[in-house]
Amino acid sequence: MLQIHLKVIEHAGYCSPIEDSIKERTTMGLLDTVLGTESQAQPTLSPSEAFAAITLAATAIDGDLAEHEARSIASVLSRSKLFRNYTDEMMNKLFDKILGILRRRDGINVLFNSAKQTLTQELREAAFAVATDLVLNDGILTEEETNFLNDLYLSLGISSDLALQIMQVVLIKNRG
């Protein structure tokens, strides 16, 4: 089982209210384990909350949530259909809920299982594509990130052929 511990890396510079909100809520170690067994209380997530949960987990897989990663989350989500009409206040509430669940004991497992139950197959595939893009964005693929992406596509029920296609396209996209 993959262990993740998240801390925020502070950098000088401007952050949007959403980026500040994400960073403020992730200053403690929050991700204990990923993709493990289910916990007792399963919160109900909307499709947008579930999608954001997968995105946040992918972004924090290396154990740190740097300012540019918080900015990437906000940027990616704001461009997707699910979040087109979200205001900063709505995004802050969404991250409050997600990060509140993550702070619980076994929170990442609870959050992931709830997200998986909520997302349609189409949204699972889209979440995997966004997660892959965020993981591969820095041009470095660590063993931990490789294991995470492998676990993620299997857990989301995505075919290996589609997962491979997504990864290849993202790698090509990130060349330039």
Residue spans per domain, the chain: 7-173
- Of 106, 77, 98, 85, which is closest to residue 16 (Cα–Cα)? 77
**Model pLDDT, residue 157:** 96
| Residue linked to tokens 């997600």 | 98
- Of 88, 81, 97, 87, which is closest to residue 49 (Cα–Cα)? 97
Determine the average pLDDT of the residues in 17-46: 55
- pTM of the entire predicted model: 0.74
User: CA 13 to CA 50: how far, in whole Å?
Assistant: 29
The more confident residue out of 85 and 18 is 85
Q: Do residues 111 and 44 touch, judged by C-beta distance below 8 A?
A: no
Q: Do residues 75 and 133 touch, judged by C-beta distance below 8 A?
A: no
**Model pLDDT, residue 45:** 94
Q: Is the dihedral of CA 25, 6, 81, 38 positive or negative?
A: negative
User: CA 133 to CA 174: how far, in whole Å?
Assistant: 8
Q: Do residues 156 and 124 touch, judged by C-beta distance below 8 A?
A: yes
Neighbour tally for 37: CB within 10 Å? 9
Environment class of residue 94 by beta-carbon count within 10 Å: exposed (0-12), middle (13-18) or buried (19+)?
buried
Q: What angle do CA 141, 146, 149 make, to 5 degrees?
A: 120
Determine the average pLDDT of the residues in 126-151: 89
Question: For 45-67, how does the pLDDT look when each residue is reduced to its tens digit (9 = 90+)?
Answer: 999 999 999 998 888 776 666 67
